[in-house]
Chains A and B, each alone.
Chain A
Amino acid sequence: MRTTRAGVGGRKVSGRDLRASRFRFRFYKKSPATREGGCQTLCVVEFAVVAGNKMEFSGVKRRKPWLIGDQRKASYPHSLQFYLQPPSENISLIEFENLAIDRLKLLKSVENLGVSYVKGTELYQSKLEAEIRRLKFSYRESLEDEYEPRRKDHISHFILRLAYCQSEDLRRWFIQQEMDLLRFRFSILPKDKIQSFLQDSHLHFEAISEEEKNLREQEIIASSTSLGGPKLELEYVYKIPFADALDLFRGRKVYLENGFAYVPLKDIVAIILNEFRAKLSKALALTARSLPAVQSDERLQPLLNHLSHSYIGQDYSIQGNAGKISLDQIDSLSTKSFPPCMRQLHKALRENHHLRHGGRMQYGLFLKGIGLTLEQALQFWKQEFIKGKMDPDKFDKGYSYNIRHSFGKEGKRTDYTPFSCLKIILTNPPSQGDYHGCPFRHSDPELLKQKLQSYKITPGGISQILDLVKGTHYQVACQKYFEMTHNSRDPDLDNRRLLTACPVLGMYALPTMPTVGTIFKDIVLREQCVVETAWMVYMTGRRDLESSLEDGGTEAS
């Protein structure tokens, strides 16, 4: 392993086996001199899930040579698989992200189609097939040169496991979509290919011979509700140990004889899916236990967090928050629940009865995000500004228009969303007399330290935070602040905290309010090594958020 950048960001995590024989993760970075397809840094990720005592360990430091011809076919003999073996090749971080995003898009489509159309109908099938094809994943057995799509399918599944193993809800969602996807692929598998697929997947389901079928024809027909009439000659029937067909035999939906269940093809799918679900569930639990090793690597941590944040389960939109707080709550909330940047803005507003433009934008949109209505906002700002001896008319003329504009009631009527953390960190740095920006980024460390002390953070916590700030991990520092000021070990709170390191909103979700996910661009500066990761994380049907954030809040007043 070569690490040519000794500075921050050049990290090597090798052979860290947190749980004996469970998870081994190796990550290292090559010199930026090697360029590939436009990205400036080639980061290599290699991961292998170790099951039991079988060690899947690759000592290869170089990229594996491209497989050619038959070798490619042999490594992925089918268009679908049970994902029993993790991938063990090297891929770039860029590809890592892209694969993950593509699969996420696919699973989201699976989910959407599943609620819009009845599964299994022609419309559903054709739409799903189109979607899979569009995203260049594998689906059909008979197509030629399916190596790339199958490889993509394989690797992307394992990447998403890392993101989706982290909570019960995430696991459930992931398993559900993967099952639907498998069901679809299995449904279009040609009948004669089924046997070889089952064999290759180490499932011991044998189709019985014609004679055996004929002997038991009456019984099999009488047992299986999925068979409509005496069409047994056309069906494959599989003989499997009864314990493997639990869901079928418990309801007497299958014929049992001498410890075996005689399962027609239609019902075999249910069994296969159950097998798949059980295996995947187990694998996710295993992965979750090994996750700390992955999460501690700060390159992957944001990647994985953001992946799983794209699914929140419900469409939490800002509109949903409106009217949920009252003006008199703001003072106490500012000390108890606001992030430091907003806390400082609020304090400044109260003290000076005024905020400059940058501050008004940053704080104003934040207040909107946590639930202030337009009426409340107008009242809030006016009351405060009037205390500063401002003429009410001047407020109405000069400031109220902007407030209404930010609520989408003027001009081009864009309902602006609050600033993302990175927008705050990277753009429009505060100057003298400004109170906006990010305290961790923009405050002088000594002043920051004093501020934290005044916020009653423990000395240990303060030094941790300052270390993070020194390492330019401003958002992590902010998370740390959150931890220090919120003692609760409430897991839900933790999840919401993790949910969006980016939108300031999400991190400090008030207990009564849902969190907000959003789309953002993440640019992390690490000394001279720039890793640019472009993240497009979808909220279901919230594509307009995308555009609003592009120009969010940059409208001149």
Chain B
Amino acid sequence: MEPFDPAELPELLKLYYRRLFPYAQYYRWLNYGGVVKNYFQHREFSFTLKDDIYIRYQSFNNQSDLEKEMQKMNPYKIDIGAVYSHRPNQHNTVKLGAFQAQEKELVFDIDMTDYDDVRRCCSSADICSKCWTLMTMAIRIIDRALKEDFGFKHRLWVYSGRRGVHCWVCDESVRKLSSAVRSGIVEYLSLVKGGQDVKKKVHLSENVHPFVRKSISIIKKYFEGYALVGQDILENKESWDKILALVPENILSQDHFYVSLQYNEKGDHFNFQKHHSSLQRWEYLKKAASQCPSNIKNEKCGPWLEWEIMLQYCFPRLDINVSKGINHLLKSPFSVHPKTGRISVPIDLQKVDQFDPFAVPTISSICHELDAIFTSEAEKEENQAESDIKHRTRDYKKTSLAPYVKVFEQFLENLDKSRKGELLKKSDLQKDF
């Protein structure tokens, strides 16, 4: 893959927006079949230009208007906001208080930085194949809940370009949800609570809600590979002390607990070391944690502690502020990440386990690919302008961007199908043939 140099962005973006950005599909998405008048025209976009110039309240009349503007301004970053009551680019002409955000997709932002307390391989903006599993688990858990519990049908998962993933839920009814309900949904999906000063972030009650139970079974599939092998969370004293810190005092102080772990807290010599792999230590820990303490009342006997540890290390962490505001702006799919050069591409849910963020094309790589093809073809063409138009619609297909656009198109197909189904239902009711 061609190395990415941020200095080249202006040139690369020029090419990207002229030849590669999938405008047709993009417009098809945000227009939502044109069912609601001015839905696209009232949508807010924001652009971040060169030198960090940020402009809000951008709006466009149609697809070609969008294209022209994007090609003219060459934005480094594109964000999508809400659908407002009026055209955002005319918001200053509207009477005070009348300009309101009305609808928007329900969005989620999962960021690897939020897991810094539980991942040992990387920190901050860095990611690697070892900790990427956290995203995989997050996608599986959240997507299952959105689909099976909430009944949401149109969910688009997108790689953010650096260290996380976004989810766009685009069902018609969902776009109309109030801020309160959106907050409620995030609350429903939240289990890990507390910041830096809180050691134990997950507390389960005796009654385990089906959502929690199903999430745990998903985590179980990955736990061994991710946590015990990849992260090796019981590798040494430093790392397993962190886990033991999650065990409540009254269990920790029980004799039988130490016996199970064969851990002698007094000296340096302890038998936990005997079991060399995290896997084996985990087995012991599980057993110790689930034993019923004889003299402690009100203590749950069973796998709760084990689950709490698993959840703290693996359960998704959502940023509520991103999801609850109807007017919140979120990075657009197919936007470029200015630091990594990677394109924010849709993730194929059927192949989520195989998704590799390092295989995602960068803007330099696809431009390079395009150049290679284009130069060879253009030699054959006389009329440059003609070839421009002819090729534009098929250009991205010749690059590594193609499969991702295909995922996007599948998502759009489903939206269309749904919409047609709804219209049919409505016309049936009205007996409108």
Binding site for B on A (CB under 8 A): 219, 222-223, 225, 242-243, 246, 249-252, 255-260
CA distance A258 to B148 in the complex (A): 5
CA distance A259 to B181 in the complex (A): 13
User: Can you show 16 pairs from A to B with CB atoms below 8 A apart?
Assistant: A219-B210, A222-B210, A223-B210, A225-B207, A242-B151, A243-B181, A246-B184, A249-B188, A250-B184, A251-B188, A252-B188, A252-B209, A256-B149, A256-B150, A257-B151, A259-B150
CA distance A260 to B151 in the complex (A): 8
CA distance A251 to B186 in the complex (A): 10
Contact B181 A246 (CB under 8 A): yes
Contact A222 B213 (CB under 8 A): yes
Contact B210 A259 (CB under 8 A): no
Residues of A within 8 A of B152 (CB): 259
Among all A-B residue pairs, the 3 with the closest Cβ atoms:
A259-B151, A250-B184, A256-B149
CA distance A260 to B211 in the complex (A): 14
Most chain B beta-carbon neighbours within 10 Å: one of A219, A225, A246: A246
Q: Of all chain B residues, which has the CB nearest A255?
A: B210
Contact B177 A243 (CB under 8 A): yes
> B145-160 vs A: 1/0 string, CB under 8 Å?
0001111100000000
**For window 127-156 of chain B, which residues contact chain A by CB distance below 8 Å?**
148-152
Q: Of all chain A residues, which has the CB nearest B211?
A: A252
Name B's interface SS.
Answer: helix
Q: 17 additional contacts, CB 8 Å, given A250-B185, A255-B210, A257-B149?
A: A222-B207, A223-B209, A223-B210, A242-B150, A243-B177, A246-B181, A246-B184, A249-B188, A250-B187, A251-B187, A251-B188, A252-B188, A252-B211, A256-B150, A256-B211, A259-B150, A260-B151
Most chain A beta-carbon neighbours within 10 Å: one of B152, B185, B188, B212: B188
Residues of B within 8 A of A259 (CB): 150-152
Residues of A within 8 A of B208 (CB): 222
Q: Does B183 interact with chain A (Cβ within 8 Å)? A: yes
> B161-187 vs A: 1/0 string, CB under 8 Å?
000000000000000010011011101
Q: Of all chain B residues, which has the CB nearest A260?
A: B151
CA distance A250 to B181 in the complex (A): 8
Name A's interface SS.
Answer: mixed
**For window 40-73 of chain B, which residues contact chain A by CB distance below 8 Å?**
none
CA distance A257 to B208 in the complex (A): 16
Residues of A within 8 A of B207 (CB): 222-223, 225
Residues of A within 8 A of B187 (CB): 250-251
Residues of B within 8 A of A255 (CB): 209-210
Residues of B within 8 A of A219 (CB): 210
> B330-350 vs A: 1/0 string, CB under 8 Å?
000000000000000000000
Binding site for A on B (CB under 8 A): 148-152, 177, 180-181, 183-185, 187-188, 207-213
Q: Of all chain B residues, which has the CB nearest A227?
A: B207
CA distance A223 to B188 in the complex (A): 12
A221 to chain B, nearest CB (A): 8
Residues of B within 8 A of A251 (CB): 187-188
Q: Of all chain B residues, which has the CB nearest A259?
A: B151
Q: Of all chain B residues, which has the CB nearest A247?
A: B184
Residues of A within 8 A of B185 (CB): 250
B172 to chain A, nearest CB (A): 13
Q: Of all chain B residues, which has the CB nearest A253?
A: B209
Q: Of all chain A residues, which has the CB nearest B149?
A: A256
Residues of A within 8 A of B180 (CB): 246
B213 to chain A, nearest CB (A): 7
Residues of B within 8 A of A252 (CB): 188, 209, 211-212
Q: Of all chain B residues, which has the CB nearest A252?
A: B209
A106 to chain B, nearest CB (A): 32
B142 to chain A, nearest CB (A): 14
Contact A258 B151 (CB under 8 A): yes
CA distance A256 to B185 in the complex (A): 11
Residues of B within 8 A of A249 (CB): 184, 188
Residues of B within 8 A of A258 (CB): 148-151
CA distance A252 to B188 in the complex (A): 6
CA distance A372 to B107 in the complex (A): 64
CA distance A246 to B180 in the complex (A): 8
CA distance A242 to B149 in the complex (A): 9
Residues of B within 8 A of A223 (CB): 207, 209-210
CA distance A549 to B145 in the complex (A): 67
Q: Of all chain A residues, which has the CB nearest B210?
A: A219
Contact A257 B188 (CB under 8 A): no
CA distance A242 to B213 in the complex (A): 20
B114 to chain A, nearest CB (A): 21
Q: Of all chain B residues, which has the CB nearest A218?
A: B210
Decide: A250 near B188, CB < 8 A? Known: A256-B149, A256-B150, A259-B151. yes
Q: Of all chain B residues, which has the CB nearest A220?
A: B210
Q: Of all chain A residues, which has the CB nearest B187?
A: A250
Most chain B beta-carbon neighbours within 10 Å: one of A252, A255, A260: A252
Residues of A within 8 A of B148 (CB): 257-258
Decide: A250 near B211, CB < 8 A? Known: A242-B150, A259-B151. no
B404 to chain A, nearest CB (A): 29
B143 to chain A, nearest CB (A): 14
